Amino acid sequence: MTIALNETHDASLRSWVTSANDGNTDFPIQNLPFAVFRRAGSSEAFRGGVAIGDQVLDLAALRAAGLLTGDAAGACAAAAKPSLNDFMAMGSTAWSALRLALSRLLRVGAAQKASVQACLLAQRDVEYSVPAKIGDYTDFFTSIHHATNVGKLFRPDNPLLPNYKWVPIAYHGRASSIGVSGESLHRPVGQVCGAGQTVPVVQPSRRLDFELELGIWIGTGNAQGKRIKVADAEAHVFGLCLLNDWSARDVQAWEYQPLGPFLAKNFGTTISPWIVTMEALAPFRAPFTRAASDPQPLHYLDAPAVWQSGSIDIQLDVLLETEKMRAAKQSAQPLARSNFVESYWTVSQMVAHHTVTGCNLQPGDLFGSGTMSGPTDESRASLLELTVGGKEPITLATGETRTFLEDGDAVILRAHCEKVGAARIGFGESYGRIVPAIDLT
C-alpha cells in the first residue's frame, strides 16, 4: 500500500501555533505525531496527545470540547485513552480521518481556534509514558553495513553469514523493559568470560553500548494462521519512533551462542515518546534498491510497491553527553549520522517475513529496525563499530576518551526528514542515561 499525498502534506500550510512555523521544529503542522502524556509530576491519568510546535494537543480535552464528528470523533475517543492500542487497532481510515481533522483545526484561519487553544499544554510541562501496551517486541538486523562491520570483528574473511542476504534476521526481545525517553538505566550485571578465561565471573558490564535504531509500531494485526502479504504490509503499520537498543557486549559475547542475545539486551530499551505516522512520512519515500549481484527478494518479500517506494529517507543522529559535559553545560557531542534509506530490508518486508509462518501480530507490537549503520566510518551507529571493538578509543571535545559507555553518560538519538518541496519533520529525541549497577551483595 502506497499512501498518497494529500492536503495534510502541503508544505505551504501554516499553523496558528506559531512555534510550529519556524522551519526548524520537529513538529510542524505537516507532522502531527502521537504520544501518551500527562502534566509533569501530577497524578493525572495519562492520555493521548499530538505534538504541534512546542505544544501538546490534549486529545481528551479536545474530545470533551465536542469539535469533531464522524470517523474523526471516534478515532479521537480511542486516541485519548491511556494507551494508543485501541486507536492503533482502528486502522488507516481512522488514523487518516483524525489526522486530517486535526490539521484543519490547527491551521491558520481555523474558526475553532479559541476552543482548540484551550486544549494545548506546553511540552516542557508534561511527562510521557510508553505510548502503547507492547505485547511483543522483535528486534531486526536490517543494516548490511552494521552486520558487515560487526562480522569483521569475529570473521574477518567472511563477515556475513550465508543467510543474511536472504532472510530479514531478527530475535524476540523483552517488551517489559522498554522505557520512554528521559529514563535512567542501571549498568547491567551478567556473566562474562573474557579472553584467556575458562570460568566466567558475574560483574557489571564493562563494554556497555548503544544502538541507533528506529522502532516500528504495528497498528492493525492479523489473525493467527493468516499471513500479511508484503503488498499489504504497510497498511498494518501505524508509525515509527526512535529506539536505542542498549547492549552489554561482554555479556553478549559469552551468552549469545547458540540461541542469540538474552541478558545482554533485556535490561532496557529506550524509545522516543512520539510516533510519527506512516502518512506523515509519505513525502519522504524512496525507491528500494538491491545490487544486481545480490540475491533478489524471494516472492513473498517482493512486490512492485516495495521497489517503487519501499525505503524511507530518514536522517538519523546519535550524540553523547558525559557527566563532564553536563557539569560544564556543554552541548552533547555528535558521534554518528546515518540514514534509514540504507536498510537492506524495508518495513513491509519485515512485516511480511514476521507473519509468513502465520504468526499473529497485535496492535501495539513493536519492531526494532536493527542498528542503522551506513557505509562510511561516520555512519557507524554503535560504539562497537566506532571503536572497532574497543581497539580504537574515541577522543571527545572535553579530552575524555570512550571505548564503551561510562556511568553518567547519556545517549541522545534524533532523526528528521527533509527534502525540497516538503516541510521538514522530525521525531523528537530518545534520551537515556547510564547510572551505576545495582549492588550484587
Question: Count of domains in the chain?
Answer: 2
Same domain (yes/no): 254, 387:
yes
Residues 194 and 223 in one domain: yes
| Burial track 158-176 (b if 16+ CB lie within 10 A, e otherwise) | ebeeeebbeebbbbebbbe
440 is written with which cell numbers? 550484587
User: Would you name the residues annotated as active-site residues?
Assistant: 146
264 in the same domain as 141: yes
Q: Residue 441 domain-assigned?
A: no
In a domain, 160, yes or no: yes
360 and 222 both lie in a single domain: yes
Residues 112 and 151 in one domain: no
**CATH label of the domain that carries residue 274:** 3.90.850.10
Compute the C-alpha angle 84/87/90, nearest 5°: 150
What is the domain extent for residue 299?
A: 137-435
Helices 92-106 and 70-79, packing angle to 10 deg: 100
CA 424 to chain centroid, in Å, comes to: 18
Do 249 and 371 fall into the same domain? yes
Q: Are residues 169 and 115 in the same domain?
A: no
**0.95 cut: is pTM over it?**
yes
Identify the CATH number of the domain in which residue 17 sits. 2.30.30.230
Domain assignment of residue 440, yes or no: no
Do 152 and 271 belong to one domain? yes
**Cβ atoms of residues 146 and 370 within 8 Å:** yes
In the listed set 129, 158, 185, which residue is the last one of a domain according to the structure?
A: 129
Residues 113 and 160 in one domain: no
299 and 153 belong to one structural domain: yes
Tens of pLDDT along the chain (441 residues) come to 678 999 999 999 999 999 999 999 999 999 999 999 999 999 999 999 999 999 999 999 999 999 999 999 999 999 999 999 999 999 999 999 999 999 999 999 999 999 999 999 999 999 999 999 999 999 999 999 999 999 999 899 899 999 999 999 999 999 999 999 999 999 999 999 988 899 999 999 999 999 999 999 999 999 999 999 999 999 999 999 999 999 999 999 999 989 999 999 999 999 999 999 999 999 999 999 999 999 999 999 999 999 999 999 999 999 999 999 999 999 999 999 999 999 999 999 999 999 999 999 999 999 999 999 999 999 999 999 999 999 999 999 999 999 999 999 999 999 999 999 999 999 999 999 999 999 887
Q: Are residues 38 and 186 in the same domain?
A: no
In a domain, 107, yes or no: yes
**Are residues 345 and 298 located together in one domain of the fold?**
yes
Residue 1 lies in a domain: no
In a domain, 346, yes or no: yes
The C-alpha R_g of the chain, in whole angstroms, comes to 22
